[in-house]
Amino acid sequence: MTDEDTHSHVVPGSDEELSTPDVRGYDFRGSFDFDDLLQSYATTGFQATQLAEAIDIAEQMQAADATVYLTFTSNIVSSGLREVVAYLVREGFVDVLITTSGSLTEDVIKTAKPFKMGKWNADEGALRERGINRLGNIFVPSDRYVWLEEYLYEFFDDFFAEEKIRTPTAFARELGATLDDEDSVLKQAADNNVPVYCPALTDAEVGNFLYYYRQGYDAEVGIEILDDYDSLIQDGLLADETGLIAVGGGVPKHHAIMTNLFRGGADYVVYISTGVEGDGSLSGAPPNEAVSWGKIKNHETNYTQIEAEATLVLPLLVASAFKQE
């Protein structure tokens, strides 16, 4: 093999000129412009470019006046993203919320007792002795849940007074109406007539307290989830177009795309996820997998996924697609 042969393997060359944009990041020389910074993400590459695509799709949702679903897991409310979600609801940018039971309980707690910053590498045994629960680098003292139990028991008395079988959306709506905190997701949803679907309502402290309440106070009370499923499907069928922003995975994400299947798929979709595709889980499944199931419509530019932790990118997405004027 000659030097010319080996050189052709190492540097094969190319006669093709690509028509795509040049890779180029933000130029920090001169005055700083936040909007220009986010626009530069389109040509920065990697997940910055995915975020730029997500911003564009979120803007398309708004331009099309799509019915927008926001799905999120409870850790979003545990963090400072609670205020971001409340903003989206307050300003009318989202029409449907789908979340987990932990989101509801933690939203209620934060109306009266804040969560506190902690650290990742805490002494877990010492925290247990002190009555402190750890969520990543966020600390939640156990007295929050003592207060929550008392609050919910009083709420249950009124909630089940006239109807013994209620739905999760009714639970979220009526609970939100009792709250007095402008940063509460449930309060904003109740005030702005945005339904909050929680198909796994018992999978947190709400479930524990409902269990004790039914055992000790009223054996006839219960939660019916099928009525909510009917409503979610029927409302989706009536929508001209739908958009989905899925923050994290699990039940909320799948509930949104599954009910959109009945209408032939969602029209615009943004996933923000750290889930991995390799294990075959729904949480890690990218949007093009949902296309194969008919849960997302098949267009080249109507869906994207940002592989990143939500606290890093959701505020940037909201700042650019929903706040910038």
Q: Which of 194, 106, 187, 118 is nearest to 147 (CA)?
A: 106
Q: Which of 187, 253, 295, 297 is catalytic?
A: 295
For residues 322 and 60, give the distance between their C-alpha atoms in angstroms, rounded to a whole number.
11
Cα separation, 74 vs 155, whole angstroms: 21
Q: Give strand pairing partners of 116.
A: 139
CA angle 124, 125, 126 (to 5 degrees): 90
- Give me the residues paired with residue 296 across strands: 266
Question: Bridge-partner residues for 135, per DSSP?
Answer: 138
Question: How is residue 139 written in tokens?
Answer: 């600390």
Tokens 């990118």, located at residue: 313
- Establish whether 323 is a catalytic residue: no
What are the C-alpha distances in Å from 174 to residues 22, 190, 275, 293? 53, 7, 33, 35
Q: Is the Cβ–Cβ distance between 111 and 82 less than 8 Å?
A: no
DSSP sequence for 85-150: HHHHHHTT--SEEE--HHHHHHHHHHTTS--EE--TT--HHHHHHHTEEEETTEEEETHHHHHHHH
Q: Residue 100 and residue 314: Cα distance in Å, rounded?
A: 18
Q: Which residues are part of the catalytic machinery? A: 295
